[in-house]
């Protein structure tokens, strides 16, 4: 068995899977066919619903992958062949020639700058921008290694030019590179190949052939500040600012003619986002959305689409598009459409049209599927083995993650990544930690005492000509040499090359240095490398300082050598001043109790417990009721697989009960939770008031949700037996005895009952539409002549199977669309007979009819008593009362507080498939810590000086990580002792942001490496010791 | 520290400007300005902190007292802070600093600025710095 895993695809799915896998103890080969990781997410401008800058949150993860010693990054590689079986696969990977030696290229860009002006469309900018024939796809590309486009390069095509080779100081250009096959051995494979967006593939009626019709990904690049138009919203045809922008939804999706029968599931949301950002960019622009259903089913999603309309004045039309044509004189577009609210056919003129075109499995998915021997589904996504485990492919040992399995958004992808990692960890658990390397430093760390005279070494980098040409490096070196405590200062060509690392070590040892400074590029990418070098020479890595004289000096002052040189000198002087004051820091190791406490015994909790247990850790599963199963106990048939819930539940409960690593604790309440990651003390109380104490390392919250009982709404109350909720219908259907149905002639479903309102419950619960359609189908099967009416607003059928599920059943009922402003009226006609009057927006008419059974699809609301639990766990709830995750996009299963995780409906209403995926994901997140057995705290944390602390608690209030606590301290004064409060920072939880230190009114908190005296010294040195050259 | 109200002719005046950048967004934005070769005046000296929330008002005061003609603090856009909410406190603190201390001490509020710059806003970083530097040049040396 191999302790290594192949991850195919370097988008957010592949990135997160790789990172989680290494934390679970596996080596990863990350194969990406393009030259950089980052995938689609790197192309996005912002992410919904928070409008976070996409690259801001992604880039740190890309860098993390790059630096991770256990991830072998194979960009510009492709998988060619696979043989073997789960645990032992042999994979052949093709390394495509970059014509640039990746071991030598420093990413300085001299080559591209000098490459003769032959410019090709840049696919990263969706071909809207240009690049040279030697290029990196985008400035933040990882790895930052250039490559040559062999179809464009004059040298490779015609044998002339060769300029890049001449200018490359690192001698990295190699025109002779050939494709190369590489064989790797892995235990499992994870496929994360993502999606493409339709453009030319669309039929011509959508008008994509016209210049000013773009698809949404192209529009993301247009919006992006680092995109082809530098963030100015311009039309491709004339680079003028468009005034009227039309966003067309479902352009080709949910459309049998375009061969894309499913809903791409993210378009409603990104359209709302893009329209909001457009308005932010240019206030005068007018945005119109031509929509179909609104499918915004995630946390705060529906509200986001409302905000676009209410706050930003984006106008939504409910329409059906017939064609989009160009006015050849103005290059404007004329949209011919049917207004579904009035039934009229109309025309609309727009200056720019953005199409929400179908998202389809990425080009080459089919071929890769054949190579890997995994099946595709009807839509060419990779087929999951079972509906309830969408992360496994049809072939054992090969897993699926992200969009290649079906349409999903980023948080779902990230959750799946963690879920996949945990399943791989289960498969390969015997070989965990067999192929990962832990860095061992041969030279022991030398002691540096605080009063030791600083002995500083400085290296100033030329970075080829990137710094040297614009900054007078020799002058900088000469000057810095004269500063007190600087023992050694020298320049070199490339500080990041491996021979430079040897040189740094040599200097540190020979000159007995106790501080080291490199002045070169940005610490964001290179600090860790130099820190490691220092540590290899026995110098504590926190005794290193980095100065950025390239990205923030030479490159931005290219015409002012004198001033740039002066600035470089200043920056270095400041760094030297700080370096004198920096201290060695210790990274502490904390033991983690190898167990997990799971709160809630529903499907999510059981799944998480099983996953943890199967990885070999102890799981405690606590449930407040008498039996496991949660909401699943009340369900009848599960859609879209049409299986009996009780059978699935029984199988699951048996598995949980049989697993020796799981301890089930029923009918118990949590009394108290104390401690922090690795060491929680939990006390439980059962119905006999007996107390049970547990010690656990991590906690998973899986408390589920409940159905809202809409007292008083639509005649729902005790007296009216035949006005019921969806869940009550499920229970009736569960019953053997269906005689109640004999009397019923007409059933009416009212969807969105008490949901998606202006006030109160504003959100969409995401599962009610599907459940209603399922129940309509069941009722129809039970009684063929039953008449069924469904009153709906939008149909939320966004998963890949759902559109078809609905399409196959829509004839079972009469679907009437109503409006929030015009709610259906329900009146009692006589005993168990109701009169309904509804304004059908499609027909633009009021319809009245009688019905003898009303089923209300009401939203899910948070479980009871969550506040109390949240207080005990010290984690937040959101506005709607569900638990609030650490980051809606990239940390959907984490709380900000390390060690506590979240899954299922406790986070937000979701269906069983998603709950299971999330539960596996949460188990994966939690087991990273359990697997490692310990955590290493960062040296860069805050620390309280108890002598100064006045116990005011302001620091505790501002800490986002619950790392600060006020503790009682007893002070003895002669014969009286008093208790005073002192702040105390838990270094295991502190992330070193320093907000507490800036908040402390008495300056009692110091932030290591960014302390008052250190920053103060930088300021003083710059301003008070200013040298005029 | 009360500032003389006149804005004189400041030809040849090269101000000293301290810039605080948080590591995750604004420092990254400054890097991107470099990668994209967006040029801006060379007067700023960047001090990197992990989060804009680290910037203690006393740092700003110290810089002004010791000879800075302007101080600019940059962080992630609200909602984007790598540490969830650090920049919200920055904003709060900054507003307080502006309204009370700066005004009471008579420092022209234009000399101290707070800006949000994301990692993809290289261009914006260059623009913000250019504009700020020009403003300070117009204000002239900060006479204490
Ligand atoms: S990390 Fe940028 S402001 Fe907090």
What is the rounded average pLDDT of the residues A408-424?
95
What is the rounded average pLDDT of the residues A471-492?
96
- Selecting from A55, A886, A1019 the residue whose C-beta is nearest the C-beta of B120 gives A55
Q: Which fold has domain B17-139?
A: Rossmann fold (3.40.50)
Would the CB atoms of B126 and A556 count as touching at under 8 Å?
A: yes
A365-378 residue pLDDT tens: 999 999 999 999 98
**Cα–ligand 1 centroid distance for A959 (angstroms):** 13
- Distance from the Cα of B53 to chain A's closest Cα (Å) equals 4
Which pLDDT value is given to residue A510? 95
What is the rounded average pLDDT of the residues A855-872?
92
Under the banding of pLDDT at 50, 70 and 90, the label for residue A704 is: very high
CB contacts of B39 in chain A (<8 Å) are 556-559
Would the CB atoms of A1023 and B123 count as touching at under 8 Å?
A: no
**Cα–ligand 1 centroid distance for A897 (angstroms):** 18
Under the banding of pLDDT at 50, 70 and 90, the label for residue A1028 is: low
Burial class (CB in 10 A: 0-12, 13-18, 19+), A302: buried
The residue to mutate among B19, B20, B25, B118, having the most atoms of ligand 1 within 8 angstroms of its beta carbon, is: B25
Asked whether residue A111 carries a pLDDT value surpassing 50, the answer given is yes
**Cα–ligand 1 centroid distance for A886 (angstroms):** 15
CB contacts of A1022 in chain B (<8 Å) are 16, 18, 45
Which candidate in B67, B78, B120, B137 is best for mutational testing of the A interface (most A CBs within 10 A)?
Answer: B120
Give this complex's ipTM: 0.95
* H runs (alpha helix) in A351-465: 365-372, 410-427
Does residue A110 belong to the interface with chain B, where contact is any CB pair within 8 Å? no
Which pLDDT value is given to residue A567? 97
More confident residue, B104 or A869: A869
Would the CB atoms of B34 and A550 count as touching at under 8 Å?
A: yes
**Cα–ligand 1 centroid distance for A26 (angstroms):** 32
Atom index in ligand 1 nearest the CA of residue B26 equals 2
Provide the β-strand partners of residue A682: A673, A694
CB pairs under 8 A between A and B: 185
A630-665 residue pLDDT tens: 999 999 888 888 888 999 999 999 999 999 999 999
Q: Supply the DSSP string of A445-481, one letter for each residue.
A: PPP--TTSPP-EEEEEE-TTTTTTTTS-HHHHHHHHH
Instruction: Give the span between the Cα atoms of B30 and B74, in whole angstroms.
Output: 10
CB contacts of A1015 in chain B (<8 Å) are 47, 49, 59
Q: Are A68 and A907 in contact (CB under 8 A)?
A: no
Which pLDDT value is given to residue A610? 97
C-alpha A713, offset from chain centre: 38
- Distance from the Cα of B93 to chain A's closest Cα (Å) equals 8
User: Which of A:938-957 have CB within 8 Å of B?
Assistant: 940
Say which range, A155-159, A419-423, A809-813, has the weakest mean pLDDT. Answer: A809-813
- Selecting from A231, A570, A993 the residue whose C-beta is nearest the C-beta of B45 gives A570
What is the rounded average pLDDT of the residues A670-685?
92
**Cα–ligand 1 centroid distance for A993 (angstroms):** 8
What is the rounded average pLDDT of the residues A737-760?
90
- Distance from the Cα of A1016 to chain B's closest Cα (Å) equals 7
Under the banding of pLDDT at 50, 70 and 90, the label for residue A472 is: very high
Under the banding of pLDDT at 50, 70 and 90, the label for residue A943 is: very high
Burial class (CB in 10 A: 0-12, 13-18, 19+), A871: exposed
Q: Are A780 and A791 in contact (CB under 8 A)?
A: no
Under the banding of pLDDT at 50, 70 and 90, the label for residue A525 is: confident
Domains of chain A: 1-96+179-194+362-444 (3.50.50.60), 97-178 (3.30.70), 199-359 (3.50.50.60), 456-579 (3.40.50), 591-704+863-935 (3.50.50.60), 708-860 (3.50.50.60), 942-1007 (3.30.70.3270)
- Selecting from A50, A140, A523 the residue whose C-beta is nearest the C-beta of B79 gives A50
Alpha-carbon separation of residue A493 from A100, A160, A462, A463 (angstroms): 19, 28, 5, 6
- Distance from the Cα of B23 to chain A's closest Cα (Å) equals 8
Instruction: For residue A968, give both structure tokens.
Output: 């009682």
CB contacts of A36 in chain B (<8 Å) are none
More confident residue, A345 or A875: A345
Which pLDDT value is given to residue A1006? 94
Tell me which chain A residue has its CA closest to the CA of residue B67. Answer: A1023
Could you state, in order of their start, the residue ranges of all structural domains in chain B?
17-139
Which pLDDT value is given to residue A1029? 45
Classify A695 as helix, strand or coil: strand
Does residue A1002 belong to the interface with chain B, where contact is any CB pair within 8 Å? no
**Cα–ligand 1 centroid distance for B89 (angstroms):** 10
Q: What is the DSSP letter of A552?
A: I
Which pLDDT value is given to residue B9? 54
* H runs (alpha helix) in A176-247: 216-223
CB-defined site of ligand 1, < 6 Å: B 22, 24-25, 51-53, 75-76, 81-83, 86-87
Please give the model's pTM, rounded to 2 decimal places. Answer: 0.86
| Mean pLDDT score of chain A | 92
Q: Are A285 and A279 in contact (CB under 8 A)?
A: yes
User: Which of A:314-343 have CB within 8 Å of B?
Assistant: none
Which pLDDT value is given to residue A641? 82
Does residue A472 belong to the interface with chain B, where contact is any CB pair within 8 Å? no
From A632, A573, A622, A565, select the one nearest A598 (Cα to Cα): A622
Measured over the CA atoms of residue A263, residue A264, residue A266 and residue A270, the dihedral's sign is negative
From A42, A77, A79, select the one nearest A63 (Cα to Cα): A42
Tell me which chain B residue has its CA closest to the CA of residue A1018. Answer: B47
CB contacts of B141 in chain A (<8 Å) are none
From B41, B84, B48, select the one nearest A1007 (Cα to Cα): B48
Q: Supply the DSSP string of A272-335, one letter for each residue.
A: HHHHHHHHHH-TT-EEEEEESS----STTHHHHHHHHHHTT--EEEEEEEEEEEEETTTTEEEE
- Distance from the Cα of A191 to chain B's closest Cα (Å) equals 29
Would the CB atoms of A559 and B123 count as touching at under 8 Å?
A: no
Q: What is the CA radius of gyration of chain A?
A: 31
β-bridge pairing A934-936 and A589-591: antiparallel
Provide the β-strand partners of residue B20: B47, B73
Residues of chain B where predicted confidence (pLDDT) is lower than 70: 1-10
Which residues lie below 8 Å from residue A758, measured CB to CB, with a gap of 6+? A820
Does residue A993 belong to the interface with chain B, where contact is any CB pair within 8 Å? yes
**Cα–ligand 1 centroid distance for A700 (angstroms):** 28
**Cα–ligand 1 centroid distance for B113 (angstroms):** 16
- Distance from the Cα of B19 to chain A's closest Cα (Å) equals 10
A973-1025 residue pLDDT tens: 778 888 889 999 998 889 899 999 999 999 999 999 999 999 999 999 999 88
């Amino acid at each position: 068995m191999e302790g290594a895993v192949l991850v195919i695809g370097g988008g957010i799915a592949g990135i997160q899977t790789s990172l989680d896998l290494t934390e679970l103890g596996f080596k990863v080969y990350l194969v990406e066919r393009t030259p950089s990781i980052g995938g689609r997410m790197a192309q996005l401008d912002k992410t919904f619903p928070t409008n976070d800058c996409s690259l801001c949150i992604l880039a740190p993860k890309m860098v993390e992958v790059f630096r991770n010693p256990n991830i072998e990054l194979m960009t510009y590689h492709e998988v060619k062949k696979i043989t073997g079986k789960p645990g032992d696969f042999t994979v052949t990977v093709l390394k495509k020639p970059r014509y640039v030696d990746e071991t030598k290229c420093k990413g300085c860009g001299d080559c591209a700058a000098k490459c003769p002006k032959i410019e090709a469309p840049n696919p990263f900018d969706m071909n809207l921008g240009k690049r040279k024939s030697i290029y990196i796809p985008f400035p933040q590309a990882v790895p930052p290694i250039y490559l040559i486009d062999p179809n464009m390069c004059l040298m490779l095509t015609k044998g002339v030019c060769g300029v890049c080779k001449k200018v490359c100081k690192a001698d990295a250009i190699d025109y002779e590179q050939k494709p190369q096959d590489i064989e790797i051995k892995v235990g499992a494979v994870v496929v994360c190949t993502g999606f493409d967006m339709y453009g030319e593939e669309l039929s011509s009626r959508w008008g994509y052939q016209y210049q000013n019709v773009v698809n949404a990904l192209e529009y993301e690049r247009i919006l992006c500040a680092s995109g082809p138009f530098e963030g100015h919203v311009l039309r491709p045809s004339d680079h003028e600012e468009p005034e009227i922008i039309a966003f067309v939804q479902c352009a080709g999706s949910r459309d049998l003619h375009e061969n894309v029968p499913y809903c791409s599931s993210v378009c409603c949301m990104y359209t709302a986002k893009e329209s909001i950002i457009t308005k932010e960019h240019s206030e005068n622009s007018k945005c119109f959305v031509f929509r179909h259903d609104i499918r915004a089913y995630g946390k705060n999603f529906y509200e986001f689409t409302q905000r676009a309309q209410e706050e930003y004045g984006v106008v939504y039309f409910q329409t059906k598009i017939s064609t989009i044509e160009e006015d050849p004189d103005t290059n404007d577009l004329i949209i011919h459409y049917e207004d579904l609210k009035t039934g009229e056919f109309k025309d609309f003129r727009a200056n720019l049209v953005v199409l929400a075109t179908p998202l389809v499995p990425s080009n080459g998915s089919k071929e890769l599927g054949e190579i890997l021997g995994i099946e595709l589904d009807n839509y060419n996504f990779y087929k999951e083995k079972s509906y309830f485990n969408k992360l496994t492919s049809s072939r054992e040992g090969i897993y699926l993650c992200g969009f290649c399995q079906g349409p999903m958004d980023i948080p779902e992808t990230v959750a799946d990544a963690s879920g996949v990692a945990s399943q791989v960890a289960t498969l390969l658990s015997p070989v965990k930690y067999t192929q990962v390397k832990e860095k061992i430093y041969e030279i022991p760390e030398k002691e540096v005492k605080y009063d030791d005279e600083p002995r500083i070494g400085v290296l100033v980098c030329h970075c080829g000509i990137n710094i040297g040409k614009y900054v007078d490096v020799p002058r900088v070196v000469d000057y810095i040499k004269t500063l007190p405590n600087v023992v050694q200062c020298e320049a070199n060509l490339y500080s990041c090359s491996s021979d430079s690392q040897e040189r740094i070590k040599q200097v540190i040892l020979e000159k007995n240095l106790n501080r080291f400074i490199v002045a070169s590029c940005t610490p964001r990418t290179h600090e860790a490398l130099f820190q490691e070098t220092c540590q290899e020479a026995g110098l504590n890595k926190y005794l290193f300082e980095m100065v950025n004289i390239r990205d923030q000096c030479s490159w931005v002052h290219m015409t002012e050598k004198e001033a740039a040189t002066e600035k470089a000198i200043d920056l270095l002087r400041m760094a030297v001043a700080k370096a004198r004051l920096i201290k060695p820091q210790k990274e502490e190791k904390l033991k983690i109790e190898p167990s997990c406490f799971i709160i809630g015994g529903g499907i999510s909790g059981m799944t998480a417990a099983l996953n943890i247990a199967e990885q070999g850790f102890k799981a405690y599963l606590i449930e407040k009721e008498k039996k496991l199963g949660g909401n699943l106990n009340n369900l009848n048939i599960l859609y879209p697989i049409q299986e009996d819930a009780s059978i699935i539940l029984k199988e699951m409960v048996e598995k949980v009960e049989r697993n020796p690593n799981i301890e089930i604790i029923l009918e118990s309440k949590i009394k108290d939770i104390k401690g922090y990651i690795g060491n929680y003390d939990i006390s439980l109380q059962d119905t006999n008031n007996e107390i049970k104490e547990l010690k656990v390392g991590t906690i998973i919250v899986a408390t589920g949700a409940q159905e809202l009982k809409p007292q008083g709404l639509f005649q729902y109350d005790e007296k009216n037996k035949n006005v019921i909720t969806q869940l009550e219908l499920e229970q009736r259907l569960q019953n053997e005895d269906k005689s109640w149905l004999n009397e019923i002639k007409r059933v009416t479903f009212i969807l969105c009952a008490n949901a998606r309102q202006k006030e109160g419950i504003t959100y969409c619960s995401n599962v009610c539409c599907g459940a209603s359609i399922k129940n309509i189908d069941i009722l129809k099967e039970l009684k063929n002549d039953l008449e069924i009416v469904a009153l709906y607003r939008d149909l939320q059928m966004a998963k890949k199977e759902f559109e078809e599920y609905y399409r196959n059943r829509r004839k079972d009922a009469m679907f009437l669309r109503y409006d929030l402003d015009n709610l259906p009226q329900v009146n009692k006609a006589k005993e168990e007979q109701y009169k309904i009057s509804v304004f059908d927006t499609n027909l633009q008419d009021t319809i009245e009819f009688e019905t003898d059974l009303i089923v209300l699809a009401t939203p899910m609301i948070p479980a009871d008593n969550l506040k109390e639990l949240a207080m005990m766990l010290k984690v937040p709830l959101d506005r709607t009362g569900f638990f609030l995750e650490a980051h809606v996009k990239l940390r959907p299963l984490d709380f900000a507080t390390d060690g506590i995780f979240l899954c299922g409906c406790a986070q937000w209403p979701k269906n069983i498939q998603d709950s299971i995926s999330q539960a596996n994901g949460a188990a994966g997140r939690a087991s990273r810590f359990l697997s490692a057995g310990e955590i290493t705290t960062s040296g860069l944390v805050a620390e309280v000086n108890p002598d100064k602390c006045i116990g005011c608690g302001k620091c505790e209030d501002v800490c986002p990580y619950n790392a600060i606590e006020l503790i009682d301290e007893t002070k003895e004064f002669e014969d009286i002792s008093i208790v005073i409060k002192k702040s105390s920072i838990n270094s295991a939880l502190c992330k070193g942001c320093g907000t507490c230190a800036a908040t402390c009114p008495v300056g009692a908190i110091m932030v290591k490496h960014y302390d008052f005296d250190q920053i103060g010294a930088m300021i003083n040195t710059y301003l008070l010791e200013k040298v005029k050259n | 520290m009360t500032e003389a109200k006149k804005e004189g002719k400041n030809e040849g005046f090269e101000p000293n400007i301290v810039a605080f950048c948080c590591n995750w967004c604004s420092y990254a934005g400054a890097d991107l300005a470099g990668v994209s070769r967006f040029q801006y005046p060379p007067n700023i000296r960047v001090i990197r902190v992990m989060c804009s929330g680290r910037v203690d008002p006393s740092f700003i005061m110290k810089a002004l007292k010791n000879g800075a003609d302007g101080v600019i603090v940059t962080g992630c856009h609200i909602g984007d802070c790598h540490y969830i909410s650090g920049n919200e406190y920055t904003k709060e603190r900054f507003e307080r600093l502006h309204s009370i201390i700066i005004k009471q001490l008579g420092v022209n509020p234009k000399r101290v600025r707070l800006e949000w710059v994301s990692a993809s806003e290289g261009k914006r970083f260059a623009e913000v710095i250019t504009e700020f530097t020009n403003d300070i040049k117009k204000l002239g040396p900060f006479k204490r």
